[in-house]
Amino acid sequence: MPETKSMWVFTSEPADPEPGERPLQPRLERPGRAVSRVEVPYASLQANMRDFLDGTHGLVAQELARAGPYAVDTVEVAAQISADGKVGFLGTGVGIAGQASVKFVFKRGASK
């Protein structure tokens, strides 16, 4: 049987560990919060990242076409990965400390 690949995603949750379970402690102290890890199937994470990048690329390409006489050389996009492997933007005002993100840099290619 082939080995199923997976990746760990770390989340910050209320510190209510299961009986006999010891949660990981966050580096930045947040009272009542603990870091836990969730195993996410690699194929699911890969599909979600592909969907996010396809959507982001379409959005950026469409807006760059409207830039008029200005040339945009580089666009940086930061995304977060949720505990269930979803990839997306984190809205403002969420108030998550110590967050990590994945950064994608889109750079204009040479004109053909």
pLDDT at 19: 64
Residue holding tokens 């990981």? 24
Closest CA to 40 of 31, 32, 49: 49
List the structure tokens of 26.
């966050």
pLDDT at 43: 92
Q: What is the mean pLDDT of each run of 10 residues along the chain (112 residues)?
A: 75 63 53 74 91 90 79 84 84 55 77 58
